Amino acid sequence: MLITRRADFSSSHACYRADWSQERNREVFGSSANPRGHGHNFVLEVTLEGEPDTVTGMVLDLKNLKGIIQREVVDPMDHRFLNHEVPPFDRVVPTTENIAVEIWRRLAPHFGKGAVRLHGVRLWETEDLYVDYHGETP
Amino acid sequence: MMRLTRRYRFSASHRLHSPVLTEEANQQLYGKCNNPYGHGHDYVLEVTARGPVDQETGLLMRAEVLDTLVERGVLSHFRQSNLNDAAAFQGNCVPTTENLVREIERRLKAGWPAAFAGPWPVLDRVRIQETKRNVFQTTVKQQ
């Protein structure tokens, strides 16, 4: 069974590489390359996979998942300029793809040992753009 | 592997009527969707691309490239149109949203190699909301 918990955080980011010219950044990242940044109300959906416990009827107590998302993602990223305040985005371009990978990296250690597995993260940058990441398959 | 989905909107009309069925059979099968002058929807189209994230840019692709492909290959043909007038829906192919998803998938596949030169990204999924209650989706098979 898959269960999904949603959270949101508002952050600013700028998509550019300091080792590239302004023209090259503009060409690849478009208006997102403005180094002063811009912001989004990111919406995160975290999906877990597991079987409901025969006693509790729950795959996982969702307030535990809520707490993990809060500590690992919302507290460090909400109302922050990702490039300047949230490693590794001082050296990794905080594209929506890379933010999703980083969220996966932060959440994955909390799952995998027990019966509940991290299935995927979906990160909505706007209502019209989202990415899905399910980790790297070996 | 990363998947990136873009959402687009277009409004169009259609009438569900199969020329190989009788008037009565059409009426029975399609109900109000068979009303003679047609009706319209605000379709929401989702196009998903799949591939690895480029290590240098942190991008799966430039979303603008997909936007241009979808605009030229799909939206400009169907926006504010009567789907029954489209070439794909002449003959016996009824513009149900099932058939519309197939037609959009065909159009995106046709334009894909010119838009994306390399092996990645690939077209992964096409999904259409006809209304908030009716959603149709195909997962694209890779040759």
pLDDT tens for B127-139 read: 999 999 999 999 9
- Name the residue range of residue A10's domain: 2-133
CATH number of the CATH domain containing B28: 3.30.479.10
Q: How many CB atoms lie within 10 A of CB B54?
A: 16
**A92 reaches B (C-beta below 8 A):** yes
Give dist(CA B120, CA B139) in Å, integer.
Answer: 17
Query: Which residues does chain B have within 8 Å of residue A28's beta carbon, measured at their own beta carbons?
Result: 57, 59, 62
CATH number of the CATH domain containing A82: 3.30.479.10
Q: Model confidence at A6, in pLDDT bands (50, 70, 90)?
A: very high
Query: Which residues does chain B have within 8 Å of residue A130's beta carbon, measured at their own beta carbons?
Result: 4-5
Q: Is the pLDDT of residue A84 over 80?
A: yes
Domain-embedded: residue A75: yes
pLDDT for the residue numbered B137: 97
pLDDT, average across residues B12-18: 97
Residue B65: strand, helix, or coil:
helix
- Name the residue range of residue B20's domain: 2-139
Answer whether B58 sits within 8 Å of A128, measured CB to CB. Answer: no
Nearest chain B alpha carbon to A95: B58
Give dist(CA A70, CA A6) in Å, integer.
Answer: 11
Sign of CA dihedral A107, A113, A116, A119: positive
Query: Which amino acid does the sequence have at B70?
Result: V
Selecting from B6, B58, B63 the residue whose C-beta is nearest the C-beta of A93 gives B58
Nearest chain B alpha carbon to A93: B58
Answer whether B2 sits within 8 Å of A132, measured CB to CB. Answer: yes
Q: Is the pLDDT of residue A85 over 80?
A: yes
Å between A122 CA and nearest CA of chain B? 9
In this predicted structure, which of A50-59, A86-95, B96-105 has the lowest mean pLDDT? A50-59
Domain-embedded: residue A70: yes
Paired tokens of A125: 């940058």
Average pLDDT, chain B: 96
Q: Is the pLDDT of residue A137 over 80?
A: no
Does the ipTM exceed 0.95?
Answer: no
- Count of domains for chain B: 1
- Count of domains for chain A: 1
Domain-embedded: residue A62: yes
Q: Is the pLDDT of residue B143 over 90?
A: no
**A75 reaches B (C-beta below 8 A):** no
Domain-embedded: residue A41: yes
pTM, 2 dp: 0.93
